[in-house]
Structure 1
Amino acid sequence: MNGGPSGFTNAPVTKTFIIASALFTIFFGIQGRFNSLGLSYQDIFGKLRLWKLIMSIFAFSSTPELMFGLFLLYYFRVFERQIGSNKYSVFITFTILNSLLFEVIAVALLKDPAANLVTPGPYGLIFASFVPFFFDIPVSTRFRVFGLYFSDKSFIYLAGIQLLLSSWKRSILPGMCGILAGSLYRLNVFYIRKAKFPEFITSFFSRISLPSMGNPHSASTRNVAGNIPSYPARQMEAIETFWSIRNILCWLTFMNYRLQRNYPAPVQSTPEPPEDSISTLVSMGFDRDSARQALVQARNDVNVATNILLEAQSH
C-alpha cells in the first residue's frame, strides 16, 4: 500500500484542501464558534445560512476530528497521483456537491428544526475516497493479532470508523452521504470520470501551494556510496509518512500560535534560550546557531522554532 513519494509531491490540490480545512477549523476554534457549525433544518429551509453550507465543507468541529480527518485526506493523496490533479479536482467537486445535496435531502426528510443534524467537515470527500480505496488499493500485507486477521489497509479503515463515529448520528449521516457520492463517481454517472477542468484551474493550486512539507531527512536515508544502509521500501514509507504528518502538525501549531498571539517580530528583550531547548533542536539535526536564532525568534517555543527551521530548509 505504497502512497508514492513523500509529502505532497504531485499532490498540490490535496495540499491546498488540507491547509484550507486546517485554517478554517483553527479560526472557528479560536472564535469559540464550534457549536454554531453544523447543518440544521432551520439553517437550510429557514434563514438559508449559505455560510454554513460553505463552512460545512471545510471546518471540523473538534481537534480529534481534525487530526483523523487530515490524516485520511493526507493518505488519500495517492488518488490525486493516480488520476492527476485535474481529474482529482473533478472528483473533489463532484463528491462534495453530491454529498452536500444528499445531506440537504436528509435534513429535509428528518425535519428537526432545533437540532444540528450534520456535523461540519469534509466528510463527503473523505468517505467518498473510501470507495476507490476499497476497490482499487490492493492488500499487500496480512497479519494476525489475537486470532484476528488484519491487513495494512485495516489502519485506514479504523481511522475512518473513528471519524465516522466521532459525533455519532451527526457524523454518520455525512459519512454515508459521502460513500453514496463516491459510489456515483465510480459508476461514472454522466461520464463524470472523463470530465476535466481547464488546465489553469489545477495549475492555480500548484502556484498557491506552500513549499513541500516532505521528509526533511530524506537525504540521510539514501544509500550513498555504500556508506549508509538502505531501508526496506515499507520502512521508508513509514518514516516518510511520519515526518510528513509531523511537519503538518508543527505547521498547524505555528499557525495556531500566530492566530492566538499575533506575535510581532523578535524583540531584543527575549530571554536567552534554555540549553535543553537548544539541545532538543540540535538532536533533530539542526545547526546549533540556527537552533538558537529560531528559539529567539519563536520566544523559546520549541514547536514554533522547529517549524521555522523546517521552513528555512524548504527554501
Structure 2
Amino acid sequence: MNGGPSGFTNAPVTRSFVIASALFTIFFGIQGRSIKLGLSYQDVIVKLRIWKLVTSVFAFSSTPELMFGLFLLYYFRVFERQIGSNKYSVFILFSIITSLLFEVLAISLLKDPAANLVTSGPYGLLFASFVPFFFDIPVSTRFRVFGVRFSDKSFIYLAGLQLLLSSWRRSILPGICGILAGSLYRLNVFGIRKAKFPEFVSSFFSRFSLPSAGNPPAAPTRNVRGNMPSFVGRQVERSHPPVPTATEPPENSIATLVSMGFDRNSARQALVHAGNDVNIATNMLLESQSH
C-alpha cells in the first residue's frame, strides 16, 4: 500500500479540507461549543438550524476524533491523486450531501428531541472513502502478530474503527450513512462517477491552500478511472515515439505516477520512453489502459 509522495502533492482539495476541518474544530473548541455541534431532532426537524448542518461537516467534537480524522483524511488523499482533483471534488460533495440526507432521515425516524443523535465531523466523507479503500487499494504487505494475520491496510481500518466507536451511537450513525453514500457513488447512481468540476476548481484550491513545505511542484492532475488499475506484467504500448533519456527516472516522478494507481515498473517504463516528462508518461499510461 503506497500513499504516494509525502505531503499534499497533487492533492490541493484534500489539503484545503484538512485545513478547514482543523480550523473549524479549533475555533469551536476554544469557544467551548464543540460538544454542541452534533445534530439532533430539535435542530434539524423542529428549528431548521441550517448552520449546524454546515459546521457539522467540518468540525470534530473532540481532540482524539480530530487526530484520527485528520490522519484518515490525509491518507485518503491517494484517491484525489488517482481520479484527479475535479472528480474528487464531486466525490466529496456527493458523499457529504448524501450522508447528510441519510442522517436527517435517521434523525426524523428516531425522533429523540432530548439527545444529539449525530456527532459532528466529516464522517460522511471519511467513511464513504472506506468503500474505494476496500475495493481499490491492494494489500502490499501481510504479517502476523501473536498468530493473528494483519496487512498494511489493517492500520487504516483500525483508525476508522476507533473513529466509528468514538462516540458510540452518535458516531456509528454518521459512519453508516457515510458507507451508504460511498456505496452509491461506487454504484455510479445517476452517472455520478463521470461528473467533474471545471479545471478552475483545482487551480483555485491550489492557490487557496497554504503551501506545503518541501513538496516538489505538483504535476497537473489527471482523471484516472475510478478503479485503481493494475499494470503488473503489462508493457506500456508505444503510442508515443520514445524519447531517449540518458538518466534513470527521478524517484519522485515514479512516486507521483504510482500514487495515481499505476504499477511501479510500468511507471518507470513510461518515464523512460517519455524522457522523464511526467505529463507525457501519464498520457501514455492512460492510453495503454484504454486499449
> Which amino acid is 1:28 matched to?
F
Normalising by structure 1, report the TM-score: 0.68
Q: 1:102 to 1:18 in 2, by over 3 A?
A: same
The 8 Å contact of residues 164 and 172 in structure 2, kept in 1 or not, is answered as yes
- Secondary structure, counterpart of 2:117 in structure 1: strand
Matching of residues 150-169 of structure 1 within 5 Å: 150-169=150-169
2:137 is matched with 137
> Which amino acid is 1:59 matched to?
A
1:109 is matched with 109
Q: 1:45 to 1:194 in 2, by over 3 A?
A: same
In the TM superposition, residue 107 of structure 1 has moved relative to its aligned partner by 0.2
Separation in structure 1 between the aligned mates of residue 119 and residue 47 of structure 2, nearest angstrom: 18
Normalising by structure 2, report the TM-score: 0.73
2:86 is matched with 86
1:174 is matched with 174
Separation in structure 1 between the aligned mates of residue 214 and residue 112 of structure 2, nearest angstrom: 45
Higher RCO (CA-CA < 8 Å; seq separation 6+): 2
2:52 is matched with 52
Question: Identity of paired residues, percent?
Answer: 84
Separation in structure 2 between the aligned mates of residue 67 and residue 214 of structure 1, nearest angstrom: 22
Separation in structure 2 between the aligned mates of residue 214 and residue 102 of structure 1, nearest angstrom: 40
1:193 is matched with 193
The 8 Å contact of residues 8 and 214 in structure 1, kept in 2 or not, is answered as no
Q: 1:166 to 1:10 in 2, by over 3 A?
A: same
Separation in structure 1 between the aligned mates of residue 161 and residue 171 of structure 2, nearest angstrom: 10
2:127 is matched with 127
Residue 78 of structure 2 corresponds to residue 72 of structure 1? no
Let me know the Cα RMSD of the aligned residues. 1.8
The 8 Å contact of residues 6 and 214 in structure 1, kept in 2 or not, is answered as no
Matching of residues 31-42 of structure 1 within 5 Å: 31-42=31-42
In the TM superposition, residue 201 of structure 1 has moved relative to its aligned partner by 2.1
> Which amino acid is 1:182 matched to?
G
Separation in structure 1 between the aligned mates of residue 166 and residue 215 of structure 2, nearest angstrom: 30
> Which amino acid is 1:97 matched to?
I
- Secondary structure, counterpart of 2:44 in structure 1: helix
Aligned positions, number: 220
> Which amino acid is 2:197 matched to?
F
- Higher share in helix: 1
In the TM superposition, residue 205 of structure 1 has moved relative to its aligned partner by 0.6
1:8 is matched with 8
**What per-residue deviation string (whole Å, max 9, x for no partner) do you get for residues 178-206 of structure 1?**
00000000000000000011222221111
Matching of residues 186-265 of structure 1 within 5 Å: 186-214=186-214
Greater Rg, structure 1 or structure 2? 1
Structure 1: any 5+ residue segments left out of the alignment? 217-229, 235-315
